[in-house]
Structures are given as structure tokens and as C-alpha cells.
Amino acid sequence: MGEYHIRTFEDRDYEAVRTIFSHGIQEHAPAGCWHVLRFPQTHLLLLAIFLVTYMISASLLFSCGVVAAFLVMGWMRMKGLWAAYVQAALVSDMLDIRKTYLEPKDCCFWVATSGEEVVGMVAAVQPEDPSQRGKALELKRMSVAKRHRGHGLSKALTRTVICFAQERGYQEVVLGTSMVQYAAQRVYEGMGFRKVKVEYPSLLPQGGIPLAKLLQFYIYYYRYKIARSH
Ligand SMILES: CC(C)(COP(=O)(O)OP(=O)(O)OC[C@H]1O[C@@H](n2cnc3c(N)ncnc32)[C@H](O)[C@@H]1OP(=O)(O)O)[C@@H](O)C(=O)NCCC(=O)NCCS
């Protein structure tokens, strides 16, 4: 962690954090695809497509081509879902970062830098769930540029959020992450966050929620209880 520095977001960081955020989210599309490809239902569907096409066309090559086309369409759809999530964030909370994350009470946005370069980010906000407001702060928008991973940066950023919440008298830090964000889960669990809820994503483009249900794609919700002497 020696060469890194964590400080509050400044306007000059704007493009860098939007880029790190976009890349950090969209890189999960392949993991999302693997998740779907592991389903026995997916195997059965691909087999059914193959058999029906073969019965109609009597061509092995054509049937394989149809299955391949189906896989490509699935991949495009999966990529599109992650891209749509990023786009929705870029035109909402990530559009005016200062207004969303620095002006409201008990919110903040930090960047991790290596020299002059922004290489990581995290935010603290009032939780989306109204029942948690006043008691917990929500950790959001954690992302570390690929080249700088594995140096404990996300742990340092998480600690920054926990200390911020503790200094302001909050009892918990909460967050949500998708089931295919394996590195994030490992970081949070390693730091003492406990999984408290598993739900389908609530913020998806049209048609996304039924699809998430069909594919059993969940969001894991975590909670960290701040010790009084933290
Ligand atoms: C999650 C993320 C922020 C971690 O950043 P980082 O600075 O590399 O994290 P750290 O160096 O502090 O810790 C990395 C941990 O993840 C583990 N890890 C890395 N890749 C992993 C993977 N594919 N599967 C499981 N664990 C993995 C490492 O082994 C390490 O755990 P350990 O210290 O117990 O060995 C980074 O991977 C990232 O930006 N991902 C894309 C965006 C994202 O998913 N953000 C989370 C939003 S909730």
C-alpha cells in the first residue's frame, strides 16, 4: 500500500473515476455468461435448439451454426445488461459526483492515487433502504484499476469508509454486490462483512428483472457492524 494515497474526490478526477467505474463493472459480463452456461436448463435449451434445427434442416453444420448464433446472442444480451447498468449510473449518481457524493451530509467520495494517477475509488452514501438510514452508511462504487489490484487497495478504501461511518456515529456499513463479483465478496468477507440478504437486482433495464429471475442471478447484501472501539 506504500505507494498509494487516498484522498477526497476533486473535479479533476471526474473522467478517471467514470472510466475506472465503467471498466470495473463491464468486466463481469464474462462471469455472468459462465454463470448462465453452468445451468442444466441452458444445456437442455441448447440441446433442444440443436435437435429441432437438425430435424428441420438435416444439416449438422447448420444446426451447430444456429446453436453458435444463439450463444453469440446470449453473450450480446449479457454484455448489454452490464453496459446498461453502467450507462444508468453514468447519467445518474456518477453524472454530478460532487452533488451526489460530496454535498449531502455524511456522504463522501474518495479516490486512491498512485503519483498523479487515479487508480481506485469508493463512495459512502445514505443507504437506499430507508429503514437503514440514520443507523448505517452504504459503501458504493468500489473499483480499482486492473493494473493496481492485489495490493490491498480495496481493503484500504473499505477501511476509509468504515472509519468515516464510525467517526459520524453510525453503527453499520452496508453494501450490495452481485453474485459474480467474486473478488469483491472475498474482500468484504475477509474484512468482517456478513452476508445478510440475497435478492434479485432491483435496478435493471426493461425485461432485466424477469431475466434475472430466470437465470437465478442474485445480489448479495452485506453488513459490517462497527465495534465501538473501532
Ligand atoms: C473488487 C476489487 C475492488 C478488489 O480490489 P483490490 O485492490 O485488488 O483488492 P485487494 O488487493 O484489497 O484484495 C484482493 C482480494 O481479492 C481476491 N481476489 C482477486 N481476484 C479474485 C477472484 N477472481 N476471485 C476471488 N478472489 C479474488 C484476492 O485474493 C484478495 O484476497 P486476499 O487478500 O484474501 O487474498 C477489484 O477487483 C475491482 O475493482 N473489481 C471490479 C469492480 C468491482 O467488482 N467492484 C466491487 C463493487 S461492490
Atom of ligand 1 at shortest range from CA of 149: 8
* Mean confidence (pLDDT) of the chain: 92
Cell of 112: 486512491
Query: How far does the centroid of ligand 1 lie from the alpha carbon of residue 54, in Å?
Result: 44
Cell of 65: 451454426
**Res 78: pLDDT:** 86
pLDDT at 1 exceeding the cut of 80: no
Cell of 86: 453502467
Atom of ligand 1 at shortest range from CA of 139: 48
Q: Tell me the percentage of the chain whose pLDDT exceeds 70.
A: 95
What is the 8-class DSSP label of residue 226? P
Mean pLDDT for the stretch of residues 103-126: 97
pLDDT at 160 exceeding the cut of 80: yes
- pTM recorded for the entire structure: 0.90
Strands 219-225 and 172-178: antiparallel
User: pLDDT tens-digit profile of 34-70?
Assistant: 998 988 888 999 999 999 999 999 999 999 999 999 9
Pocket test for ligand 1, best of 128, 162, 187 (most atoms within 8 A of CB): 187
Q: E-assigned strands of the chain?
A: 4-8, 108-114, 117-125, 136-144, 172-178, 194-199, 219-225
**Res 128: pLDDT:** 87
pLDDT at 230 exceeding the cut of 60: no
Among the CATH numbers 1.20.1440.230, 3.40.920.10, 3.40.630.30, 3.40.50.1000, which is that of 4-11+97-225?
Answer: 3.40.630.30
- 3-class SS of residue 222: strand
Atom of ligand 1 at shortest range from CA of 141: 47
Query: How far does the centroid of ligand 1 lie from the alpha carbon of residue 115, in Å?
Result: 22
Helix, strand, coil percentages (3-state) for the chain, rounded to 5, are 50, 20, 25
Residues with CB under 6 A from ligand 1: 24, 142-144, 149-155, 177, 181-184, 186-187, 190
Where in the chain are the domains? Answer: 4-11+97-225, 29-88
Torsion of CA 128, 230, 3, 102, to 10 degrees: 30
Query: How far does the centroid of ligand 1 lie from the alpha carbon of residue 95, in Å?
Result: 25
The answer to whether the CB of 175 falls within 8 A of the CB of 157 is no
Whose CA is closest to atom 23 on ligand 1?
183
CA 80 – CA 84 distance, rounded (Å): 6
Query: Residue 220 — very low, low, confident or very high, per pLDDT cuts 50/70/90?
Result: very high
The answer to whether the CB of 180 falls within 8 A of the CB of 30 is no
CA distances from 70 to 44, 53, 90 (A): 13, 12, 30
Dihedral sign from CA coordinates of 145, 151, 155, 159: negative
**Res 210: pLDDT:** 72
Query: How far does the centroid of ligand 1 lie from the alpha carbon of residue 59, in Å?
Result: 46
Pocket test for ligand 1, best of 6, 113, 154, 188 (most atoms within 8 A of CB): 154
Query: How far does the centroid of ligand 1 lie from the alpha carbon of residue 197, in Å?
Result: 21
pLDDT at 26 exceeding the cut of 90: yes
User: pLDDT tens-digit profile of 62-101?
Assistant: 999 999 999 999 899 889 989 999 999 999 999 999 999 9
CA 152 – CA 139 distance, rounded (Å): 17
The answer to whether the CB of 123 falls within 8 A of the CB of 139 is yes
Residue 94, CB-side half-sphere exposure with 13 Å CA sphere: 22
Atom of ligand 1 at shortest range from CA of 25: 42
